Amino acid sequence: MSTTTLPPTEKAAPVSAPAGTTSDRARSERTLGWLLAGPALLVMLLVTAYPILQAVYDSLFDYRLTDPENRSFTGLSNYWVILTDSTWWIAIGVTVFITAVTVAVELVLGFALAFVMAKALSAIRPVLRAAILIPYAVITVVSAFAWKFAFAIDTGFINKWFGWLPGISGDTDWFGGQWSALFVVCVAEIWKTTPFISLLLLAGLAQVPEVLQEAAKVDGATWWQRLRKVTLPNMKAAIMVALLFRTLDAFRVFDSVFVMTAGANHTETVSFLAYRQTISRLEIGLGSAVSVLLFLAVVLIAAVFIKGFKVDLAQARGER
């Protein structure tokens, strides 16, 4: 089973001084580069690296804002408390479930949307592109409310419209059970973020050389064969980048859960758990520990994608 890709074309390297000899010009260019880009780098580090280090430090203390006098060093005991508590594992389970379901559905749906946009008549293409951007631009909280009200018993219409389906009746309480509530959360997330994936995939589709498609067609490949052997291998970079971004984004899910269930009925995600510990319960120590664990989980996912699936971000950006 071979896949068909064009050999990578060498990009013209920027003209630079030969290695070993750093001319005055090169040195001054380097200084200017740091002067221009330095502030942005510094700000980025200040707003992320510093807080996460502070969180690591805080997580080692038994520290409650309601009782600041009794702040005491407890080492890793906060982590022990969290990791031996079922609350944490339920939150992890819910987060992984939402991430897996939304990303999988979005990838398939996003592909369908991208295909239609790529192949649609040129007359309606701008209309589709504008329409697809609307969910992207709508505030997540607004989307969550729209879906919540649509499914709610009192204000909704879903129960009435879909009452003919088995299991749905006028008084189906979607937010009363774990699975039905998570279903609605996933629907809202999928609606809101599929456009982003489909736009990335559309850009990837545009990179598939038309020559290869034509050649495969001439050789008698079916539509399905062309998709599997020509289209998908050629847009692997775009697919992996879209997957990476969406997976990490989905793993932070917070807004929809807050609006729809506020974590009730075992629908709490890891982000929500961290929020509840810190902001509602003022447990800075425990909240920091949850934050650090969430951060490590995100780093782990990114590492798996980049090392395991060999997502070459430099290649995806068009530089090497």
Q: Which of 41, 76, 300, 303 binds other proteins (CB under 8 A)?
A: 41
User: To 5 degrees, how large is the angle CA 44–CA 45–CA 47?
Assistant: 70
Quote the least distance from Cβ 114 to other proteins, whole Å: 11
Enumerate residues 256-275 that contact other proteins by CB under 8 A.
Answer: 258-259, 271, 274-275
For position 232 contacting other proteins by CB under 8 A, the verdict is no
For position 73 contacting other proteins by CB under 8 A, the verdict is no
Q: Which of 76, 83, 100, 133 binds other proteins (CB under 8 A)?
A: 133
Number of C-beta neighbours around residue 11 at 10 A: 9
Q: Name which of 104 and 127 has its Cβ closer to other proteins.
A: 127
* Cα distance between residue 245 and residue 240, in whole Å: 9
* Cα distance between residue 299 and residue 28, in whole Å: 36
What sections of the chain are H helices per DSSP?
24-58, 77-83, 86-119, 125-137, 140-151, 158-161, 178-207, 210-218, 223-226, 232-234, 236-251, 255-260, 270-275, 284-303, 313-317
Q: Which of 1, 12, 19, 134 binds other proteins (CB under 8 A)?
A: 134
For position 316 contacting other proteins by CB under 8 A, the verdict is yes
* Cα distance between residue 87 and residue 69, in whole Å: 28
For position 300 contacting other proteins by CB under 8 A, the verdict is no
For position 172 contacting other proteins by CB under 8 A, the verdict is no
Quote the least distance from Cβ 39 to other proteins, whole Å: 6
Q: Which of 82, 212, 250, 284 binds other proteins (CB under 8 A)?
A: 284
Q: Which of 20, 166, 167, 318 binds other proteins (CB under 8 A)?
A: 318
Burial code of 34-58, b = ≥16 C-beta within 10 A, e = fewer? eeeeeeeeeeeeeeeeeeeeebeeb
For position 251 contacting other proteins by CB under 8 A, the verdict is yes
